[in-house]
């Protein structure tokens, strides 16, 4: 699903955010990406989202060579990747329902079908009863779940999450992780960047450990 071949990323010519990354993630896998802040977790996710291009090496995602992707194709590529952001990236001037339906609206889906799928996604994250609420009226955990519903509403084959439990208490964090495991169980490839080592250790999935932009450990689930 994801192939990194000798990938490096420099910013401004000097700072090396990522160096010589070489790994593969198989279809249907669930992988954690760990490391201290600044280790390059976010940079790696940004490369997969095609928000940035690598300075060196090659990245293949679902068969797409990201270096060969024309800028006009990037939006269509992004529709195949669901992303959950640490700061949610919700639109605060529209309801929970409309936030979740937004990717379908962008795809030009008929409103009836879009509404059905948005409600299904909200139901999955347990927020169907809040569909009319504005994101500002929700707690942090609920906002994160809206973000997850929006990421999966397109039924992407790949789901990325950047510190999805960053500001949540342990119980809420475990709930969120359980949601990701549910999506992984139905075949979605999931990659989660997190520095919550205790939680990751408990969940027993493959873990990629980054330090100063290098892959220092690739541990299969115990």
Partner 1 sequence: MTRQPPVPPRGARSQRTRSSSQLRGWLRHHRAMGADSARRLLRQPLGSLLTMLAIAIALVLPAALWLMLDSARLLDAELDDSATLTAYLEPRVAEGEAGRIAEAVAAQSGVAGTRLITAAEGMAEFQQALGLSDALARLDGNPLPASIVVTPDDPAPAAVRQLARSLEALAGVAEVRLDLAWLERLRHLAELGRRVALALGVLFGLGVLLVVGNTIRLAVESRRQEIEVVMLIGATHAFVRRPFLYSGAWYGLGGGLLAWALLALGNQWLATPVRALAASYGASFTLPQLGLPGSATLLICSTLLGWLGAWIAVGRHLAGIRPR
Between 57 and 82, name the residue whose CB sits nearer to partner 1: 82
Between 152 and 203, name the residue whose CB sits nearer to partner 1: 152
Between 85 and 180, name the residue whose CB sits nearer to partner 1: 85
Closest among 181, 194, 180, 146 to 45, alpha carbons compared: 194
| By CB under 8 A, residue 83 contacts partner 1 | yes
Closest among 174, 212, 159, 201 to 39, alpha carbons compared: 212
Q: How far is the CB of 187 from partner 1 (least distance, A)?
A: 21
The single residue among 150, 183, 207, 210 that binds partner 1, judged by CB under 8 A, is 150
Q: How far is the CB of 98 from partner 1 (least distance, A)?
A: 12
Element (H, E) at 142: helix 140-152
Between 57 and 103, name the residue whose CB sits nearer to partner 1: 103
Give me the sign of the Cα torsion angle 17, 23, 26, 29.
Answer: negative
| By CB under 8 A, residue 138 contacts partner 1 | no
Burial state string for 32-41 with b = 16 or more CB within 10 A and e = fewer than 16 = bbbbeeebbb
| By CB under 8 A, residue 51 contacts partner 1 | yes
């Amino acid at each position: 699903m994801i192939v990194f071949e000798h990938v490096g990323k420099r910013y401004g010519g000097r700072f090396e955010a990522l160096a010589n990354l070489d790994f593969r993630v198989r279809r249907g896998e669930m992988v954690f990406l760990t490391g201290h802040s600044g280790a390059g977790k976010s940079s790696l996710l940004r490369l997969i989202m095609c928000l940035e291009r690598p300075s060196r090496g090659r990245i293949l995602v679902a068969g797409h060579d990201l270096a060969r992707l024309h800028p006009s194709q990037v939006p269509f590529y992004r529709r195949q990747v669901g992303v959950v952001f640490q700061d949610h990236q919700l639109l605060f001037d529209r309801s929970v329902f409309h936030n979740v339906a937004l990717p379908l609206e962008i795809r030009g889906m008929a409103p009836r079908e879009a509404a059905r799928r948005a409600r299904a996604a909200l139901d999955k994250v347990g927020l169907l009863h809040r569909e009319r609420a504005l994101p500002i009226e929700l707690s942090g955990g609920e906002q994160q779940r809206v973000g997850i519903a929006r990421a999966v509403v397109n039924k992407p084959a790949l789901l990325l999450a950047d510190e999805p439990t960053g500001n949540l208490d342990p119980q809420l964090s475990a709930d969120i992780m359980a949601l990701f495991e549910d999506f992984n169980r139905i075949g979605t490839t999931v990659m989660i960047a997190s520095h919550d080592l205790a939680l990751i250790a408990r969940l027993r999935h493959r873990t990629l450990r980054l330090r100063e932009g290098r892959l220092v450990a690739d541990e299969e689930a115990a």
